[in-house]
Structure 1
Amino acid sequence: MGEDGADRSGGFGEQLLGRLLDRARLLPPQLVAPLIAEEVTRIGGRDLSILLQDYAQELLVPLPGRMLHAGQPEPMAGTPAGRAFLSGKTVEVPQGGGGVRVYLPLLDGSDHVGVMALTLDSLGEDGRRLMNRLAGLVADMLVTKAAYTDQFFLARRREPMSVSAEIQWNLLPPLTMSVPQVQVAGILEPAYRVAGDSFDYALNDNILHAAVIDAMGHGLDAATMATVAIGAYRHARRVFISLAEKYAFMDDAISRQFGPDHFATAQLMHLNIATGEMELVNAGHPAPLLIHDGRVVGQLESATTLPVGFGGELPRIMEHALQRGDRVLCYTDGIIEERVHGGEPFGEERLIACVNRLGEEPSQGLRADLRRLSHTLKRERGGRTSDDATLFMIEWRGGAADHFSVLG
């Protein structure tokens, strides 16, 4: 029993989670959040809020619903909810009138879905374990139910979204992934008008497969080409082995569908997460930046390869060896070609300076660091993003997969 009289023991917790899971299975999506609020009252919780990240990754937006506390959206920067979301760790804030406000990250695997906030009169170790398990179950339920409704999408959307942006957001994998050996994170701008930029990744055994693409043009034409490029990449990834074959398959798909005057630039990567060995094909894209101890130490160079769609020859694969803790930053040309003071391009030097300046501050984790970089770059560009501007970052930590105990 907690000090407030609520039973948060292991047996009671199992019953609560089991009951929540059993009841949610057949509920329509709009009743899931009220069900969670109802069950939270059984453990002495009140003022439950479920906060989802908006598409620009600036705010945490309360999900509306019966029995939910729906206040104003909370900024990610400088708020307890934002700290919980970006760090993936629970934040507890004692209340002046007694009790504690608890902010629990909602994690689907390692992808950050949002935050669950509630107030309790007291919180002991049994309660903390139960809250963390409840948050994990809530995140899984929200992700599952989101496939059946527009409710969660509409809550996250803070301004009108173009059709091309709708296509691109539906095309993306989770924005973050984290396992002990490697982390990835990505961000798209402008969130509500993005068209031709996209990225994709998959972790198959010890190989992280990753791709960043930038389809020429704007609007629906670019979004359609990006869809074909990512679809071809995924198909090739699941059939072929080498980067060269993936490039050839994507090149053929774009050429056949759109003709010789259309193309997409691309970066294709294989990273062995046990050894840090990286293979890279750079098809007309800005070269990725290698970051060590928070500073850019150089570019990951690659042999010249034509963009996909031009019918180029099979590319030569460049190999690089990462050190533990290294980060690889991929970006599209919208980052460096945006015009700033006097009409000159923003440029790679300014990008590197921003990376190095932020690297002098303590790391808040890959997701939070990439978000800070994206927002810093936008401010440095005067708030303008006239072309798609995508960032995708990989952090390699190393270690064989079987070194990490599944029971630990």
Structure 2
Amino acid sequence: MTDPAVLSGDTALAAARLFDGLLRRTHLSAPHDVADVVAEELHGALGADGVRLWLADYEHTALVRVPGRWSPQGAEQPLEGSMAGRAFTSAAVVGAPAADADGRARRRLWVPLLDGTDRLGVLELTLPLGGGQGRVPQDVLDVCERCAHLVAMVVASKNLYGDVFTRLQRSEPLTVGSELVRAMLPPQTYATDGLVVSAALEPAYDNGGDAFDYAANEEGLHLAVFDGMGHGLAAAAVTTFALAAYRRARRSGLGLLETYAEIDAAVASQFGGERHVTAVLARLDRTGGRLSWVSAGHPPPLLLRDARVVKTLQAPPAFPLGWRFGGSVAVAEEVLQSGDAVLLYTDGLIEARRDGGGLLGLEGLSDFLEQQAAAEQAASETLRRLRRTILSRPGVTLRDDATALLVEWRRGSEHRLLPQTAQE
């Protein structure tokens, strides 16, 4: 990426105008005004035309256009086989030749909307070419990329104050249980130097019993996956209650054993032993790679190393949360090597039924993860492909909710957060 200090004079002025306009106008704008504000400011600062915002649907199968005066509602594009979809799945800028009404050559760009590293959608725009070069100048391209990051932050922020973006991302209503759980979840992807966390939750519109959580704190990365007893609203209630108890314990500075005890007691007190939750509660030392975890009657995580699933991370089993049966609870530990990945998941993932009635199983899940690791797919793209390749195929039936939380760790700042951007 070009350093902001080397922007040409004209581009620097255009960038200042663009970001000043976006920040000033979105400060008090309503969510449904965002698409128009972005289109108008990009046109005024960079001469961009055909500006459109696209958001990914909940199933990550299509991009849906955000409506505005310059962008009618209703259109969508598939993630597979479209230029916008290519920009989303690769998290890289994609370009193609274009022309204006007078036949002058221009460049069509699709720029990923990244809130941090969480992929929200794509910014599409057409730009004039610079100096007869036949391509958009690199410093202008960099401004567009940074503009897309700002727009993603605006969308994420404005989504807290209205339903326009959430409605667009849904192709069908959520169940009440799913609505309850999704309101509690953090963003599906987080990354910083040396660390990537990404999650998937299925089925997208009817998941009531599963949840995930993470928190990147100074003392380490906290991770959790929960699976409430049953399905639907009752399962959602006990799962979200356990999640709230987990956050309370974590934010109080409790260790893993004390956190287990706090959640166990809270769930038992509230539900009287009639409901329980299985879980993995974990903490990763981001400096040295030491992973510590407690298993509350939950499937063991998988460890990937050098594109191979090398082991399941076993822990002395403890009772599910809410049983209050007592007994010993132990913390297991594993020191990760730089480049390792760990998958936490719920049993609905490996219990998915294939054609013929066979289960996906650990072997099928491991094979898939190894293929994606060998192809050097990012964590978020690995889980998107997991949805599409395994969970969304005809003939595959989910017997239960399925959740995955994939963590990649590298020592120091070795991690490649995102692919490099390109115009082609």
- TM-score over 0.5 for the alignment? yes
Aligned residues of 1:99 and 1:119 also touching (Cα < 8 A): yes
Aligned residues of 1:327 and 1:394 also touching (Cα < 8 A): yes
Distance apart, 1:356 and its partner CA: 2.8
CA distance in 2, matches of 1:340, 1:20: 49
CA distance in 2, matches of 1:139, 1:314: 46
Distance apart, 1:194 and its partner CA: 0.4
Which consecutive residues of structure 2, in runs of 5 or more, have no partner in the other structure? 1-8, 130-135, 415-424
Matched residue type, 2:121: G
Match for residue 26 of structure 2? 24
| Residue 161 (str. 1) matches residue 174 (str. 2) | yes
Distance apart, 1:70 and its partner CA: 5.2
Distance apart, 1:173 and its partner CA: 0.2
Aligned residues of 2:346 and 2:403 also touching (Cα < 8 A): yes
Aligned residues of 2:306 and 2:340 also touching (Cα < 8 A): yes
- Secondary structure at the counterpart of residue 159 of structure 1: coil
| Residue 48 (str. 1) matches residue 55 (str. 2) | no
Match for residue 117 of structure 2? 110
- Secondary structure at the counterpart of residue 171 of structure 1: coil
Question: Equivalent pairs: percent with the same residue?
Answer: 41
**Which of residues 287, 301, 308 is equivalent to 2:314?**
301
Match for residue 396 of structure 1? 409
Match for residue 290 of structure 1? 303
Distance apart, 1:335 and its partner CA: 1.2
Give runs of aligned pairs for residues 44-193 of structure 1, distance below 5 A.
Answer: 44-68=47-71, 72-95=75-98, 98-122=105-129, 123-193=136-206
Give runs of aligned pairs for residues 314-353 of structure 1, distance below 5 A.
Answer: 315-353=329-367
CA distance in 1, matches of 2:393, 2:37: 44
Change beyond 3 A, Cα 1:313–1:238? farther
Matched residue type, 1:111: D
- Secondary structure at the counterpart of residue 95 of structure 1: strand
> What is the CA deviation profile of residues 342-388 of structure 1, one whole-angstrom value per residue up to 9, with x for unaligned ones?
5443322222222233444x223111112112322225682322310
Stretch of structure 1 that moved more, 247-256 or 379-388 = 379-388
Distance apart, 1:71 and its partner CA: 6.7
Matched residue type, 2:365: L
Stretch of structure 1 that moved more, 273-282 or 350-359 = 350-359
Matched residue type, 2:159: A
Distance apart, 1:83 and its partner CA: 2.7
Aligned residues of 1:64 and 1:70 also touching (Cα < 8 A): yes
| Residue 225 (str. 1) matches residue 238 (str. 2) | yes
Distance apart, 1:395 and its partner CA: 0.3
| Residue 195 (str. 1) matches residue 208 (str. 2) | yes
Stretch of structure 1 that moved more, 112-121 or 319-328 = 112-121
CA distance in 1, matches of 2:158, 2:12: 27
Matched residue type, 1:49: R
Distance apart, 1:69 and its partner CA: 5.9
Query: With structure 2 as the length reference, what TM-score do the two structures score?
Result: 0.88
The size of the alignment, in residue pairs, is 395
Aligned residues of 1:37 and 1:48 also touching (Cα < 8 A): yes
Distance apart, 1:332 and its partner CA: 0.7
Distance apart, 1:40 and its partner CA: 1.6
Matched residue type, 1:345: L
Matched residue type, 2:93: T
- Secondary structure at the counterpart of residue 12 of structure 1: helix
Match for residue 3 of structure 1? none
Over aligned residue pairs, what C-alpha RMSD do you find? 2.0
Query: With structure 1 as the length reference, what TM-score do the two structures score?
Result: 0.92
Stretch of structure 1 that moved more, 317-326 or 89-98 = 89-98
Change beyond 3 A, Cα 1:13–1:100? same
Change beyond 3 A, Cα 1:344–1:86? closer
Matched residue type, 1:116: L
- Secondary structure at the counterpart of residue 372 of structure 1: helix
Matched residue type, 1:139: A
Match for residue 371 of structure 1? 384
Change beyond 3 A, Cα 1:11–1:379? closer
| Residue 272 (str. 1) matches residue 285 (str. 2) | yes
Distance apart, 1:72 and its partner CA: 3.1
Distance apart, 1:81 and its partner CA: 1.8
CA distance in 1, matches of 2:139, 2:302: 45
Match for residue 405 of structure 1? none
- Secondary structure at the counterpart of residue 183 of structure 2: helix
Aligned residues of 1:338 and 1:381 also touching (Cα < 8 A): no
Match for residue 41 of structure 2? 39
